[in-house]
């Protein structure tokens, strides 16, 4: 038997424990948020990671913490603090014990349970190196991670049978000195290494939310990656409709970066229809990614975008009529009308596809995201749902793999609500 020092001996005042029933010595005890009751009297405490305050120890200095695995015939069945099904011990065969670094974050593995310093269980790790994560977002107890969504793993400890074991896993082509999101951007953007320092920063900054949330990886696999080529369209980039690959015109890419450097994410440019001006979003890489992303959304989500677009188009034609003689599709404004424009950029008016891509681009960096949120809360709500609730916004064939990856990224500390704040 093992007794351990547990960091929070107060009995769980800071951390909520699980809720359910504890079988112990032929009795069934009630567990309520970690507090263990026998006949209505509190007799112990149970953490999600399996640490159990010995029932029946009265005085504080007598308190012993033991692992549930080591108490004969002791089993907990119920839910964890977030409401996901939990049985302790997690496996009747035990499992590895040791230190785990997952995506650069430190965890402790206790008999196959991946646990945090504050006694939460975030997943399971077995003797073959298979990782399951608990998904507190969609309340799934075990999401098995395969090579497409497993993040870097570095384990040092013992197997269930007590033999010393070191185990490492890195994703293919993974650069160990860079986080997941940067690695994925490097994979997405062909010839990334040939970019200048400034170009790299621009690409990474404008793709970060899409990469950290797992969307970039799933969209790349479905639609293709991005390459600097020569588009010769006069457009900064083109997303091929059939293959979904993105080609970026090298010259336009450089111009975009130059404008971004000088004016930020949004620039007001003059037009030949003096005094009318047009707003430009200087984020071509995330704009083209936005087109790829749109192909991956459910029809219902795309319909919601189309509805918002139609409503804005109608109001724009009425309130920001184009200058006489102008035949283009962009929203041009008199300078004094700029604050009342309907579209984040002039180009966003030209079609529902460009509206979506321009909004995705503007959402990519905090500066223009804040303005977009003021101007068009409806589209920001949809984009936020696409990032945080992919189960209701993505096409059904992609949503399950995305949820597995997002659960891994949450445990790995890369993906949280702060990405869209």
12 to 41: interface string for Zn ion, x by CB under 5 A: ------------------------------
Closer residue to Zn ion in complex, CB, 121/248: 248
Instruction: Give the binding range for Zn ion (CB under 5 A) out of 63-71, 205-213, 278-286, 354-362.
Output: 354-362
- The residues facing 23 across adjacent strands are 28, 75
Closer residue to Zn ion in complex, CB, 219/357: 357
In this chain, which residue has its C-beta nearest to Zn ion? 357
The structure tokens listed for 103 are: 């995506």
Instruction: Give the binding range for Zn ion (CB under 5 A) out of 113-121, 200-208, 268-276, 350-358.
Output: 350-358
Contact 43, 35 (CB under 8 A): no
Most distant CA pair in the chain, distance: 88
Least spacing, CB of residue 203 vs Zn ion, in Å: 17
Closer residue to Zn ion in complex, CB, 133/297: 297
Would you call 193 exposed, middle or buried from its count of C-beta atoms within 10 A (0-12, 13-18, 19+)? Answer: exposed
Least spacing, CB of residue 185 vs Zn ion, in Å: 20
Closer residue to Zn ion in complex, CB, 153/236: 236
Contact 286, 206 (CB under 8 A): yes
3-class DSSP state of 112: coil
- Residue 157 is inside which H or E element, if any? strand 153-158
Instruction: Give the binding range for Zn ion (CB under 5 A) out of 50-58, 110-118, 348-356, 397-405.
Output: 348-356
Contact 116, 122 (CB under 8 A): yes
Instruction: Give the binding range for Zn ion (CB under 5 A) out of 51-59, 213-221, 305-313, 356-364.
Output: 356-364
Give dist(CA 84, CA 249) in Å, integer.
48
Closer residue to Zn ion in complex, CB, 24/248: 248
Give dist(CA 231, CA 19) in Å, integer.
59
Closer residue to Zn ion in complex, CB, 81/357: 357
Q: Choose among 350, 368, 221, 356: nearest CA to 291.
A: 356
Least spacing, CB of residue 283 vs Zn ion, in Å: 11
Least spacing, CB of residue 359 vs Zn ion, in Å: 11
Least spacing, CB of residue 350 vs Zn ion, in Å: 9
Least spacing, CB of residue 236 vs Zn ion, in Å: 8
Closer residue to Zn ion in complex, CB, 133/283: 283
Contact 20, 31 (CB under 8 A): yes
Least spacing, CB of residue 36 vs Zn ion, in Å: 59
Least spacing, CB of residue 247 vs Zn ion, in Å: 12
Closer residue to Zn ion in complex, CB, 150/357: 357
Give dist(CA 364, CA 372) in Å, integer.
10
Q: How many residues bind Zn ion (CB under 5 A)?
A: 2
Least spacing, CB of residue 292 vs Zn ion, in Å: 11
The structure tokens listed for 380 are: 């920001």
Closer residue to Zn ion in complex, CB, 121/357: 357
Interaction residues for Zn ion, span 151-190 (CB under 5 A): none
Total count of residues recorded for the chain: 421
Question: Across the chain, how many H-helices and E-strands are there?
Answer: 11, 21
Instruction: Give the binding range for Zn ion (CB under 5 A) out of 48-56, 106-114, 132-140, 352-360.
Output: 352-360
Which of 357, 372, 375, 398 contacts Zn ion by CB under 5 A?
357
Q: Choose among 254, 283, 255: nearest CA to 345.
A: 283
Pairing of the two strands 226-229 and 246-249: parallel
- The residues facing 326 across adjacent strands are none
Contact 72, 65 (CB under 8 A): no
Contacting positions for Zn ion (CB under 5 A): 354, 357
């Amino acid at each position: 038997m093992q007794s351990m020092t547990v960091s929070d001996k107060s009995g769980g005042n800071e951390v909520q424990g699980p809720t359910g029933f504890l079988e112990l010595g032929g009795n069934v005890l009630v567990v309520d948020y970690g507090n263990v009751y026998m006949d209505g009297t509190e007799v112990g405490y149970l953490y999600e990671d399996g640490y159990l305050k010995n029932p029946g120890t009265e005085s504080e200095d007598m308190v012993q913490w033991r692992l549930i695995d080591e108490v004969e015939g002791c089993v907990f069945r119920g839910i964890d603090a977030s409401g996901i099904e939990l049985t302790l011990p997690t496996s009747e065969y035990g499992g590895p014990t040791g230190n785990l670094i997952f995506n650069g974050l430190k965890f402790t593995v206790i008999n196959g349970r991946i646990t945090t310093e504050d006694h939460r269980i975030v997943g399971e790790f077995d003797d073959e190196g298979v990782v399951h994560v608990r998904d507190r977002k969609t309340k799934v107890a075990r999401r098995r991670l395969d090579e497409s969504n497993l993040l870097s793993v570095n384990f040092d400890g013992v197997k269930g049978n007590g033999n010393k074991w070191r185990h490492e896993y890195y994703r293919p082509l993974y650069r160990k000195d860079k986080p997941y999101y940067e690695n994925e951007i490097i994979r997405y953007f062909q010839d990334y290494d040939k970019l200048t320092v400034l170009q790299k920063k621009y690409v990474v900054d404008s793709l970060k939310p899409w990469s950290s949330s797992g969307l970039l990886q799933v969209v790349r696999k479905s639609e293709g990656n991005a390459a600097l080529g020569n588009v010769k369209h006069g457009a900064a980039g083109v997303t091929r409709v059939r293959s979904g690959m993105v080609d970026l015109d090298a010259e336009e890419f450089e111009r975009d970066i130059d404008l971004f450097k000088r004016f930020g994410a949004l620039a007001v440019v003059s037009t030949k229809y003096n005094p009318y001006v047009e707003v430009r979003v200087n984020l071509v890489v995330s704009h083209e990614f936005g087109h790829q992303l749109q192909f991956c959304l459910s029809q219902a989500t795309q319909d919601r975008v189309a509805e918002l677009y139609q409503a804005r188009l109608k109001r724009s034609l009425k309130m920001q009529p184009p200058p006489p003689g102008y035949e283009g599709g962009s929203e041009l404004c008199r300078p004094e009308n700029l604050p009342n424009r309907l579209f984040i950029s002039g180009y966003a008016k030209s079609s529902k596809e460009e509206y979506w891509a321009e909004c995705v681009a503007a959402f990519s960096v905090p500066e223009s995201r804040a303005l977009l949120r003021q101007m068009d809360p409806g589209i920001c709500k949809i984009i936020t749902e696409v990032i945080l609730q992919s189960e209701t916004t993505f096409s059904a064939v992609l949503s399950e793999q995305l949820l597995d990856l997002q659960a891994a990224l949450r445990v790995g500390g890369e993906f949280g609500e702060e990405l869209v704040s």
